[in-house]
Amino acid sequence: MNDPNGMVYYEGEYHLFYQYHPESTVWGPMHWGHAVSEDLVHWEHLPVALYPDSLGLIFSGSAVVDWKNTSNFGSIDKPPLVAIFTHHLMEGEKAERDDFQYQSIAYSNDKGRTWTKYESNPVIPNPGIKDFRDPKVIWYEASERWVMVIAARDRVKIYSSHNLKDWQFESDFGMDYGMQALWECPDLFPIKVEETGEEKWVMIVSVQSNAPNGGSGTQYFIGDFDGTTFTSDYPKEKVLWLDWGKDNYAGVTFSDVPEDDGRRILIGWMSNWQYAQEVPTKKWRSAMTLPRTLELKNINGGLKLCSSPVQELEKLRGEGVKIEIGEAILERSVDLVELELAFNNEAEDYIAFVLANDIGERVQFGYDARVNSFFVDRKYAGDNTFSEDFASATHYAERSQEDQKINFHIFIDHSSIELFADDGEMVMTETFFPDEKFDRLMIGTDAELVEGKMYELKSIWTE
């Protein structure tokens, strides 16, 4: 699998579709796999939702609830789910044409269980751009229109529609903005600034290469949107990263989360195109990140998009242990764990976490005061022979806050770590493949531990 697709909340269920090749552990003819969850934590696998057809493979895209039945695929009483995706025609790619990606739609009237493709697909033909994909659609209330963002090589194209079938080009955003590389999987949404309640618009764009620690990564822009045009508040060359780890790509947010909930929830694909197809796994091939709530916060006089693990994950907490002050060098046996720690780093010291097993493999992560950066080092974390890009260097994320207090919220799974620091301003998501399970966690530092909690986590599959 790769990208998350069509994430939408409808009648009590979160739907997660995803790029899926059912016959192999490497990329191939793409389908939309499908899973649903009532709580964002426990997921049920459902049959493949969309199969390739004569128009092509089913690439990434989004889904919406068409509440007003603008598409006429359902009724006002029973609004349809509409999926908007890219058709990718292999024959066209092989013939080296540049018109083999175009946007199509499908609908469901049974809570996403079965899908019918629209008979007049594609709804947006290719305008002569080789990379023209990953439509994400939102409802823009002020003009009562659907708005679509599409990745088009070095920019995002914005379209609008009354009915999800007839689309009109509105504007381009990008070109020389942000990180230059192949742009993919955009998202666009309004979000309120935490402190003031002011509404801003955020555009998320994944870049296939040139991420801060190499390979694929996700940048974002903050600005305004008037229904037709997005304008960024920051200078063109400013690059803001959603995650500094190597394994969070193609993330987008859920559509139709109820207003009384109001969260903007993102899930990303926990891999990187540098090695996604070579990682040493057989029965599974990559996973999604934990769902994350996005918040726009004013930090050091500038706005930042911060991520935190969704609160529902607290359901997985088993026994909690308080890690006492003065016990800042410790060793615990662990399996699946969540850590919430705050340090007062007056000593300006290293804060080092080591996750280890009995055969000498280890992942080291934490904060390195010498370079004022958070870091993940997976050089000795097990098999890394499959790609030079996987672990040849330590991965860093420079800290932007000056407060001596540093907080961490960390999730450790058998093959991944999701590290949120400084209240989610800094995130590092990284995978690893030890030959034996990591079962020991050590923390070493001279910084004062002012708050420390550790929870064993239950598996999401065993309840």
Interface residues with ligand FRU (CB under 6 A)? 2-3, 19, 30, 59-60, 86, 133-134, 184-185, 250
Q: What is the DSSP letter of 314?
A: G
Q: Report the C-alpha gap between 463 and 459 in whole angstroms.
A: 8
Nearer to ligand FRU, 19 or 253 (CB): 19
Residue 3 among the catalytic residues: yes
* Smallest separation, CB 426 to ligand FRU (Å): 24
CB nearer to ligand FRU: pick between 182 and 352: 182
Length of the chain: 463
d(CA 146, CA 117): 19
Nearest approach, Cβ of 225 to ligand FRU (angstroms)?
Answer: 22
Nearest alpha carbon to residue 138 among 78, 186, 197: 186
The dihedral region occupied by 354, where left means phi > 0, alpha psi between -120 and 50, and beta the remainder, is beta
What's the DSSP call for residue 401?
Answer: -
Nearest distance from C-beta of residue 446 to ligand FRU, angstroms: 42
Nearer to ligand FRU, 250 or 316 (CB): 250
Q: How far is the CB of 182 from ligand FRU (least distance, A)?
A: 8
Q: Which of 436, 432, 437, 409 is nearest to 422 (CA)?
A: 409
Smallest distance from ligand FRU to CB 269, Å: 7
- d(C-alpha 121, C-alpha 101), whole Å: 12
Query: Assign residue 461 a region: left if phi > 0, alpha if psi is -120 to 50, beta otherwise?
Result: alpha
Which CB sits closer to ligand FRU, 1 or 164? 1
CB 60 within 8 Å of CB 86: yes
Nearer to ligand FRU (CB atom), residue 188 or residue 250? 250
Residues 3, 247, 256, 377: which is the catalytic one? Answer: 3
Tokens read off for 86: 């890219």
DSSP for residue 41: S
Least separation in angstroms between residue 238's CB and ligand FRU is: 24
Residue with token string 């005061």 = 369
Pick 185 or 417: Cβ nearer ligand FRU: 185
Which residue type is seen at 137? V
Which residue's structure tokens are 């994320």? 397
Active site residues: 3
